[in-house]
Amino acid sequence: MVSDAPKHYPVLLNEIISIITPQHGGTFIDCTFGQGGYTKKILSYKDTQVIAIDRDIESKKIADKISEKFPNRFIFKHKKFSQLDNLKLKNEKIRGILLDLGYSFTQIKDPKKGLSFNSVGDLNMQMGLNNFSASDAINNLDVNELEKIFNFFGEELEAKRIAFNIVKERKTKKIDTKKLVELVEKSAVVTFHSLEDKIVNYFFKSLSEKKSISRYMPNINQPETLFSMVEKKPITPSAKELRENTPSRSAKLRYVIKKNDFYNFETDIVKKFKTLLDIENFSEKL
């Protein structure tokens, strides 16, 4: 059959399978189900189960088809992965948790989602389960909050100037996608980078490494870490994958192995990720 729909190519799939080894069975959580690329592959091995999550309701259509095929081995939850705790999985033995961070090709191409710089009209950028849009944030947050967002998520040196220009401009006119692009171009160099990778690397590293008191002293009497980080460098797509799926070029795969059940949420997570959590809380104002 010939179809115009682009073939879905799950990024770094073989590498993921060789790390999580579903051949041995077990339950996996696919936190970013998308079009089900990873889930379908895992379910192709017998004795596996998948609990899948996605915040975008569009994913449910694909999930429903998988549920029909594997009624006893697959569950889909329309949730954000930050709500993982609500799934009450405490007694389930989970062999692996996957997160494929970013937008899917179909989301970027969907004009209703307003994710592309080239789209016109209202700013949206909602991925599902949002109570506010990018337009609400750009047109309502104060200058310091906007600066914090551009500074942190954009790692933008001109964050202050962009925030200032937005607040000045919106006094006369609501800011839409075209205006925002203009304002950013007027203020700044736009950089493309992988902030997700930095955050993931920081998260994994900080929960995998024992703090070195001195390089001449053995690391004694230090609490055991939550994870062990087997490979420090990220795994990137092979030459074959790059040839077959160009958008995979920026993908980086990192993984850790959980070795311990103990961590302190306040000190290990909340304190270390304060900036991210602060920004998340801006939404309470919108």
CA distance 286 to 278: 14
The answer to whether 125 contacts ligand SAM (rule: CB under 6 A) is: no
**CB of 130 vs ligand SAM, minimal distance in Å:** 10
Per DSSP bridges, beta strands 74-78 and 48-54 are: parallel
Q: Which of residues 167-206 bind ligand SAM (CB under 6 A)?
A: none
Give 101-151 as a DSSP string. -S--HHHHH-GGG--STT--SS-----SS-SS-HHHHHHHS-HHHHHHHHH
The answer to whether 96 contacts ligand SAM (rule: CB under 6 A) is: no
**CB of 147 vs ligand SAM, minimal distance in Å:** 24
In angstroms, what is the C-alpha Rg of the chain? 21
Which CB sits closer to ligand SAM, 45 or 164?
45
Residue choice 52, 54, 124, 187 for contact with ligand SAM (CB under 6 A): 54
CA distance 118 to 231: 38
Q: Which of residues 127-166 bind ligand SAM (CB under 6 A)?
A: 127
SS3 78: strand
The answer to whether 78 contacts ligand SAM (rule: CB under 6 A) is: no
**CB of 17 vs ligand SAM, minimal distance in Å:** 12
* Amino acid (1-letter code) at residue 48: T
Q: How far is CA 158 from CA 69, 191, 244, 280, 282, in A?
A: 51, 11, 37, 21, 21
Residue choice 22, 28, 38, 245 for contact with ligand SAM (CB under 6 A): 38
The answer to whether 10 contacts ligand SAM (rule: CB under 6 A) is: yes
Which CB sits closer to ligand SAM, 83 or 260?
83
**CB of 190 vs ligand SAM, minimal distance in Å:** 22
- Name the site residues for ligand SAM (rule: CB under 6 A): 10, 32, 34-38, 53-56, 59, 80-82, 100, 102, 104, 127
